């Protein structure tokens, strides 16, 4: 859905106002921004509009103007202007999101933060804290702190592209979440610009802080709809000295899912506990010929860490015991780091491999309480049979997060594919799970919010949105609001 017109509609809160920016208005706004930021930082040419029109959902929605703020004060002035002129504006990091959070719903401005606001501002080794601008790339931050013996655990699959600002805005997860939690567990403080241009600080460099409302907490995962994040203070850990990987092969997916929650409940918390189902294993094997067990119902790949050999051994023994109690037919511990990488090969390459099952992949990231995983996977199998789609599943079972991929071969079946997805969402919600463990809602999942939330809950979300953004300029029409 490429949008060529300058016109856009903008839904104001509760009021069904529709207003239109005509080309003359756009030109006037552009002149203002050129004057404010310099011509090189305010663009409305077709190349820029195209370049900032998409994210990993592969939908294309062109903005009218792309702006490159140089610092927080630029953001403040831009927002003041947008607020006064009721121009929709969408903050954007790397544009690697899976739900359309960083693309415009219908015209307006993209505020591109990766060009200038990409600095690591301070490493406070004494307090194990790092302060960054939103455009810093996740993996660059990981590498930087690791070069100082420190550790930033959140590792979304997009770590080589995605920015910390985007990670915070979507509350990104990753493979290490089973032990180390997700982005929100590392955010200590946020500086942000409100739609009226006010600059606020939320949170502190302290582990405890109970003064005032937890504004930082609500900015996390707010998908750029409440404020533009201009600076983030993150907690770091000391880097564990040792790690070791292992893999278990299971005859059935139910056995593997039982092994997951029984291991996690045993007092041992692996860094990661990932799974591939039979279709996922077969896809990787077909593509890469690695000698994977293509008859297996599922494999679990896990990693433990610590500072002592005895700790590593203890954890692996516990995991092996729990796996074998739950039908693990083969358990392999990596001999060394290289061997560990081989064990992880299938998991790291599964996402691209499953394309053998269909032209279009409808991938979701539903999450359920861990002990509900066996039920979830059985129910997904039912959906697969009912609709006739292959649905390979893999993901972060350590935290109950399953990447389900409805593979559509014939693009005429897309609507049926969406029906299958809707059914999977309903199953997840019925199992006390959520629509999204890490990708967010954005545009892609907005139609499903009413499956998960009551009218009262949606009204409360709208009230919160209005408290921050009374004119609804910030990333409007997202999250089903």
For the beta carbon of residue 327, count every other beta carbon within 10 angstroms. 17
**Residue 323: both structure tokens together:** 């796996």
Between CA 42 and CA 36 the distance in angstroms is: 9
Smallest distance, a copy of itself to C-beta of residue 373, A: 10
Q: Residue 212 and residue 367: Cα distance in Å, rounded?
A: 31
Identified binder of a copy of itself from the candidate list 204, 290, 359, 386, rule CB under 8 A: 204
Angle between helix 373-387 and 253-264 (nearest 10): 150
Instruction: Name which of 260 and 279 has its Cβ closer to a copy of itself.
Output: 260
Q: How far is the CB of 88 from a copy of itself (least distance, A)?
A: 19
Q: Which stretch binds a copy of itself (CB under 8 A): 78-86, 330-338, 348-356, 455-463?
A: 455-463
Tell me how far, at minimum, the Cβ of 235 lies from a copy of itself, in Å: 10
Residue (35 or 307) nearer to a copy of itself, CB: 307
CB 283 within 8 A of CB 353: yes
**Is residue 184 a contact residue for a copy of itself (CB under 8 A)?**
yes
The answer to whether 391 contacts a copy of itself (rule: CB under 8 A) is: no
By CB under 8 A, the residues from 349 to 378 that bind a copy of itself are 367-372
Contact between 447 and a copy of itself per CB under 8 A:
no
Residue 339 binds a copy of itself (CB under 8 A): no
Q: Does residue 433 bind a copy of itself (CB under 8 A)? A: yes
Give how many residues touch a copy of itself by CB under 8 A.
90
Residue with smaller CB distance to a copy of itself, 341 or 459: 459
Residue 440 binds to a copy of itself (criterion: CB under 8 A): yes
Stretch (H or E) spanning 463: helix 455-468
DSSP track, 309-327: HHHHHHHHHHHHHHHHHTT
Please, which residue, 340 or 437, has the CB nearer to a copy of itself?
Answer: 437
Structural element, H or E, at residue 51: helix 46-51
Residue 190 is a binding residue for a copy of itself (CB under 8 A): no
454 binds a copy of itself (CB under 8 A): yes
Q: Return the residues of window 92-131 that contact a copy of itself according to CB under 8 A.
A: 124-129
CA angle, 435 as apex, 434 and 440 as ends, to 5°?
Answer: 110
Question: Could you say whether residue 199 binds a copy of itself (CB under 8 A)?
Answer: yes
Does the protein bind a copy of itself through residue 73 (CB under 8 A)? Answer: no
Positions in 393-432 near a copy of itself (CB under 8 A)? 396, 399-401, 432
Tell me which DSSP letter residue 223 carries.
T
Among 32, 54, 387, 461, binds a copy of itself (CB under 8 A): 461
Q: Are 62 and 446 in contact (CB under 8 A)?
A: no
Residues 241-300 that bind a copy of itself (CB under 8 A): 241, 261, 264-268
For a copy of itself, the binding residue among 122, 146, 185, 385 (CB under 8 A) is 185
Nearer to a copy of itself, 416 or 426 (CB): 426
Q: How far is the CB of 346 from a copy of itself (least distance, A)?
A: 22
Rounded to an integer, what distance in angstroms lies between the CA atom of residue 477 and that of residue 184? 24
Residue 31 is a binding residue for a copy of itself (CB under 8 A): no
Stretch that binds a copy of itself, among 30-38, 106-114, 340-348, 454-462 (CB under 8 A): 454-462
Query: Does 308 interact with a copy of itself (rule: CB under 8 A)?
Result: yes
Note whether 345 binds a copy of itself by CB under 8 A. Answer: no
How far apart are the C-alpha atoms of 477 and 467, rounded to whole Å?
16
DSSP code, position 436? B
Beta bridge partners of 235: 129
Establish if 147 lies at the interface with a copy of itself (CB under 8 A).
Answer: no
Question: Would you say 135 and 165 are in contact if contact means Cβ atoms under 8 Å apart?
Answer: yes
The pattern of x and - marking residues 209 through 238 that bind a copy of itself according to CB under 8 A reads xxxxxxx-xx-xxx---x-----------x
Instruction: Assess contact for 198 and 79: CB atoms under 8 A.
Output: no
One residue of 82, 112, 452, 474 binding a copy of itself per CB under 8 A: 452
Give the residue with the Cβ less far from a copy of itself, 38 or 149: 149
Among 182, 257, 376, 383, binds a copy of itself (CB under 8 A): 182
How large is the angle between the packed helices 72-85 and 23-37, nearest 10 degrees?
160
Contact 475, 224 (CB under 8 A): yes
Across 337-442, the runs of DSSP E, i.e. the strands, are 360-364, 393-396, 401-408
Query: CA 54 to CA 100: how far, in whole Å?
Result: 8
Could you give the CA distance from residue 221 to residue 466 in angstroms, rounded to a whole number?
A: 17
Taking the C-alpha atoms of residue 324 and residue 403, their distance in angstroms, rounded to an integer, is 25
Element (H, E) at 79: helix 72-85
């Amino acid at each position: 859905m490429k949008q060529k017109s300058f016109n856009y509609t903008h839904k104001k809160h509760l009021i069904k106002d529709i207003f239109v920016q005509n080309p003359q208005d756009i030109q006037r706004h552009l002149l203002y921004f050129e004057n404010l930021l310099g011509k090189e930082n305010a663009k409305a040419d077709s190349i820029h509009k195209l370049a900032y029109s998409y994210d990993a959902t592969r939908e294309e929605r062109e903005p009218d103007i792309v702006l490159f703020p140089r610092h927080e004060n630029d953001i403040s002035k831009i927002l003041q202007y947008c607020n006064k002129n009721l121009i929709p504006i969408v903050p954007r990091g790397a544009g690697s999101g899976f739900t359309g959070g960083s693309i415009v719903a219908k015209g307006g401005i993209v505020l591109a933060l990766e060009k200038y606001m990409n600095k690591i501002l301070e490493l406070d080794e004494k307090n194990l804290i790092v302060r960054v601008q939103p455009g810093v790339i996740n993996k660059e931050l990981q590498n930087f702190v690791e070069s100082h013996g420190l550790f930033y655990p959140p590792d979304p699959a997009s770590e080589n592209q995605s920015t910390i600002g985007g990670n915070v805005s979507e509350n990104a997860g990753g493979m290490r979440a089973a032990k180390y939690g997700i982005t929100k567990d590392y955010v200590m403080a946020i500086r942000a610009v409100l739609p009226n241009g006010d600059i606020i600080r939320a949170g502190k460099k302290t582990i405890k802080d109970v003064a005032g409302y937890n504004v930082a907490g609500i900015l996390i995962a707010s998908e750029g709809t409440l404020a533009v994040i201009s600076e983030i203070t993150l907690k770091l850990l000391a880097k564990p000295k040792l790690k070791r990987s292992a893999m278990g092969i299971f005859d059935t997916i139910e056995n593997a899912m039982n092994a997951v929650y029984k291991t996690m409940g045993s007092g041992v918390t692996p860094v990661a506990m990932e799974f591939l189902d039979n279709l996922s294993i077969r896809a990787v094997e077909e593509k890469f010929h690695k000698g994977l067990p293509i008859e297996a119902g599922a494999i679990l790949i896990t990693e433990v860490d610590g500072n002592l050999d005895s700790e590593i051994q203890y954890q692996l023994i516990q995991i092996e015991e729990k796996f074998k109690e739950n039908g693990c037919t083969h358990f392999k511990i990596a001999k060394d780091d290289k061997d560990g990488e081989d064990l992880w090969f299938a998991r790291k390459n599964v996402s691209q491999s499953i394309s053998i099952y269909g032209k279009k992949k409808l991938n979701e990231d539903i999450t359920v309480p861990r002990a509900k995983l066996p039920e979830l996977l059985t129910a997904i199998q039912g959906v697969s049979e009912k609709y006739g789609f292959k649905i390979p599943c893999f993901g972060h079972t350590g935290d109950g997060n399953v990447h389900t991929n409805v593979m559509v071969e014939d693009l005429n079946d897309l609507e049926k594919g969406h029906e299958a997805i809707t059914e999977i969402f309903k199953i997840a919600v019925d199992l006390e799970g959520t629509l999204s463990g890490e990708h967010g809602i954005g545009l892609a999942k907005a139609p499903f919010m009413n499956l998960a939330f009551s009218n009262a809950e949606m009204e409360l979300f709208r009230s919160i949105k209005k408290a921050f953004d009374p004119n609804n300029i910030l990333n409007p029409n997202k999250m089903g609001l």
